A and B are shown apart, each in its own frame.
Chain A
């Protein structure tokens, strides 16, 4: 029922793009669509008002009316303003001049503080920094244990003060971190309602006691209009230095990012993008704006591809494709490389226009277990069979199926698909425009 923000804006702006000149009425129409789309994306009402006013002012100004391609110009303005609203540049975690730097995580219940604390420690460790995790949530049953288990699972140092008050726990954690030479101490505070004065006072007390380098608000990306109320209240209480947006791996349009940013003035520093402990990414305002506008998060995709792809292998593959020697072995290699880049659904979401794919199609191509099955089938073949699938008769098919825990139909389907693929490559190979030097993603 509700179209994606990206789809909405694209639709409106495509209409503008087709125009030679913009009339006031055109601008009004586009602004109305942008307003509705942003509201549907859960950007706060007031923030939307300001945003649309800013875009409008520029859209009816000289810079558009006198340009040759007014439609394009509006796209650019919307993108620029969106990026500006989210903080223009990527913001990093502050280091303290006198380590250890305390990093305080605050937020509502269920926003993801505990998981984020561990992800942050892992992130710092990868950058060569040592972080101590401190459990200051003495209220939620199991919270301390949760942080302890997660810390152990990634071999991170963990501190909890038995039966102490949260302020005391934080103070002791800081002392310990300073004694043992940690760079950071991450304080996982209890989730609390911003209306709860006693609990908000506790945060103020902790802040006064540890003088944190960073006080980060952890916000669920699926939050609606209320994001501004909570963010403003936490900001008033502790003076936030930044924001971490969680659960951005879902299909939320993430308007809360814009709201929180504009109400606190604090940069969004990280985004949580998955259940695994390394699923924390630096927040890129520019990329997020592009993604919201449906231009796709191509930059992140390229980074992931470079991290996951083996260049030498890619060249080798290209040679094989050219000489039409693409085998099932190569097919499996490709699948494995693709999967190294992360869950398929994440990769797909970054592609331009992904928002427009029909959902059935998305589900179809996102099915990770199918990929695992294909890998299993290929791995159950002998080397000769992989090189020459023509060998595979019906008794071999039965063997492969039982070896891979699949059905003969699955094996048949894979072989048919592969045959088709080979045919496709043959055609491509015979075409001259099969460009040289291009990193090959035949399946993307």
Chain B
């Protein structure tokens, strides 16, 4: 099942049927001020962020005028193209051919790092790569146990130490072990941390430094895991994490709910960090590569009656 179909099912289940409203909004007719206002509302209720929403609608207004477009259906297509282009600029980087390839997952508490780490490990393993997970969250109670269960499900090895160990040391040892066992891909889970906690962000910087020391060039990918229900704070999260360790991509989780995860548009607009994957369920294979066009389409609806 493709991403868009999953969106459809998830959203159709929400009150009144989201797709129905979307279709109503864009049911063919003339564009007018009310149409643009509704569009703005749709973007804002999708958490695109006020700044980006106002900007997009204003651009659309001008462009529609320039192209003398009066049809709603055409205006929608224009906006879909616009958002898609925004989300695809810059495109996700191709990964270096490093061995082992080191991927680090970071994010605030409860965003879904542990589950996502396992899903990602499963994807790589399915591609025939030799994958190792690293239990870098030594702080949260039972986080290591949780990842162990997921590692078993994904059929990959987990490198773990005692709860409370220094996470940097865990990664240092893990990288050496991974090299000895000639792993292709190493995926590191880290403890959830609010981006405002100076000491925890310092800890993250240290983890990043230590990984780089153990294996020059690593980590090759640092992915920020963002919950799709996140509001404007997602922009603060992305910029503060990015200041601490350069973020190469985003993973948008919990997109199987009613939240549309529009904040990645705002993040992309400001920080130019591409979305790499989306999490769409609780099963091990519920992680898909990001499809900007499908995402843009799904975004352009609104639960207007709330």
Q: Which residue from A108, A139, A140, A253 sits with its C-beta under 8 Å from B229?
A: A108
Chain B 178-213 interface mask (CB, 8 Å, partner A; 1/0): 000000000000000011111100100000000000
Inter-chain contact B233/A252, CB cutoff 8 Å:
yes
Contacts of B196 in A (CB 8 A): 249-251, 345
B1 close to A (CB within 8 Å)? no
* Proximity bits, B144-170, A CB within 8 Å = 1, else 0: 111111100000000000010000000
Q: Is the CB of A146 within 8 A of B140?
A: yes
A145 engages B145 (CB within 8 Å): yes
CB distance from A234 to the nearest CB of B (A): 12
The residue of chain B having its C-beta at the shortest distance from the C-beta of A40 within the complex is: B50
- A224 and B257 within 8 A (CB): no
Q: Is the CB of B105 closer than 8 A to any CB of chain A?
A: no
Contact with B along A106-125 (1 / 0, CB 8 A): 00111110000000000000
Within 8 Å by CB of B109, from A42, A110, A148, lies: A110
Q: How many CB-defined contacts (below 8 Å) exist between A and B?
A: 170
Cα(A367)–Cα(B198), bound, Å: 7
- Asked if B306 and A194 make an inter-chain contact with CB atoms under 8 angstroms apart, the answer reads no
Kindly identify which residue among B47, B141, B194 contacts A149, using a CB–CB cutoff of 8 Å: B141
Q: A250–B108 contact, CB under 8 A?
A: yes
Contact in complex: A193, B257 (CB < 8 Å): yes
User: Are A108 and B257 touching (Cβ within 8 A)?
Assistant: yes
**Chain B nearest CB, measured from A355 CB (Å):** 13
Q: Would A224 and B258 be within 8 Å (CB), given that A149-B141, A250-B195 are in contact?
A: no
Is A376 interfacial (CB 8 A cutoff)? no
Contact B198 A1 (CB under 8 A): no
Determine if B259 and A195 form an interchain contact, defined as CB atoms under 8 angstroms apart: no
Shortest A122–chain B CB gap in Å is: 14
Q: How far is the CB of A43 from chain B (nearest CB, A)?
A: 9
Comparing A225-233, A311-319, A384-392, the segment that makes contact with chain B is A225-233
Using Cβ atoms and an 8 Å threshold, which residues of chain B touch A109?
A: 110, 112, 254
Q: Assess whether B142 is in contact with A146, with CB atoms less than 8 Å apart.
A: yes
Residue from A44, A141, A222, A256 in contact with B108 in the complex, judged by beta carbons closer than 8 Å: A222
B110–chain A nearest beta-carbon distance, Å: 3
Cross-interface CB contact of A2 among B111, B228, B232, cutoff 8 Å: B232
**Residue of B145, B197, B237, B303 touching A229 (CB-CB under 8 A):** B303
- What are the interface flags for A131-146 relative to B under an 8 Å C-beta threshold, 1 for contact and 0 otherwise? 0000000011111011
The yes or no answer to B242 lying at the interface (CB within 8 A) is no
Q: Which residues of A contact B144 (CB under 8 A)?
A: 142
Q: Is the CB of B257 within 8 A of A195?
A: yes
Report the Cα distance A108→B253, complex, angstroms: 12
Nearest CB in chain B: distance from A432 CB, A: 40
Q: Is residue A201 contacting chain B, with contact meaning CB distance below 8 A? A: no
B-side interface residues, number (CB < 8 Å): 58
Using known A-B contacts A142-B142, A224-B232, determine if residue A39 contacts B194 with beta carbons closer than 8 Å: no
Chain B residues whose C-beta falls within 8 Å of the C-beta of A39 in the assembled complex: 44, 50
Bound CA span A109–B257, Å: 11
Is the beta-carbon distance between B232 and A253 smaller than 8 angstroms? Answer: yes
- Within 8 Å of chain A (Cβ to Cβ): is B10? yes
Chain A positions 232 through 261: 1 when the CB is less than 8 Å from some CB of chain B, otherwise 0? 100000000000000101111101100000
Residues in chain A near residue B257, CB distance under 8 A: 108, 193-195, 226, 230
| B305 CB, nearest partner CB in chain A, Å | 9
A-side interface size class: 35 or more
* Residue among B15, B47, B141, B142 making CB contact with A224, cutoff 8 Å: B47
A46 at the interface (CB under 8 A from B): yes
Judge whether B256 and A193 touch: CB under 8 Å.
yes
| A427 on the B face (CB < 8 A) | no
How close is B280's CB to chain A, nearest CB, in angstroms? 11
- Give chain A nearest CB distance to B138 CB in angstroms: 13
**A368 interfacial by beta-carbon distance below 8 Å:** yes
Q: Within 8 Å of chain B (Cβ to Cβ): is A351?
A: no
- Residues on A with C-beta less than 8 A from B258 are 194-195, 226, 229-230
In the complex the two chains form, what is the Cα distance from A109 to B282 in whole Å? Answer: 10
Among A224, A232, A367, A369, point to the contact of B231 (Cβ < 8 A). Answer: A224
Interface positions, chain B 100-145, Cβ under 8 Å from A, are 108-112, 140-145
| Pair A42/B233 contact, Cβ less than 8 Å | yes
Provide the bound-state CA to CA distance between A150 and B270, in Å.
Answer: 39
State whether B270 touches A1 (Cβ < 8 A): yes
Other than the given A42-B231, A42-B232, 17 more pairs (CB < 8 A) read: A40-B51, A44-B45, A108-B254, A109-B110, A109-B112, A110-B112, A142-B144, A142-B147, A142-B148, A145-B141, A222-B230, A225-B44, A225-B46, A225-B259, A226-B260, A228-B306, A250-B196
Closest 5 CB pairs of A and B: A224-B231, A110-B110, A142-B146, A42-B231, A141-B149
Residues of chain B having any CB pair with chain A under 8 Å:
10, 13-15, 41, 44-47, 49-51, 108-112, 140-150, 163, 194-199, 202, 227-237, 254, 256-260, 263, 270, 282, 303, 306
- 19 residue pairs of the A-B complex, CB under 8 angstroms, read A40-B232, A108-B257, A109-B254, A110-B112, A142-B147, A143-B142, A149-B141, A195-B10, A222-B234, A224-B47, A224-B232, A224-B233, A224-B234, A250-B108, A250-B236, A252-B231, A252-B236, A345-B196, A345-B197
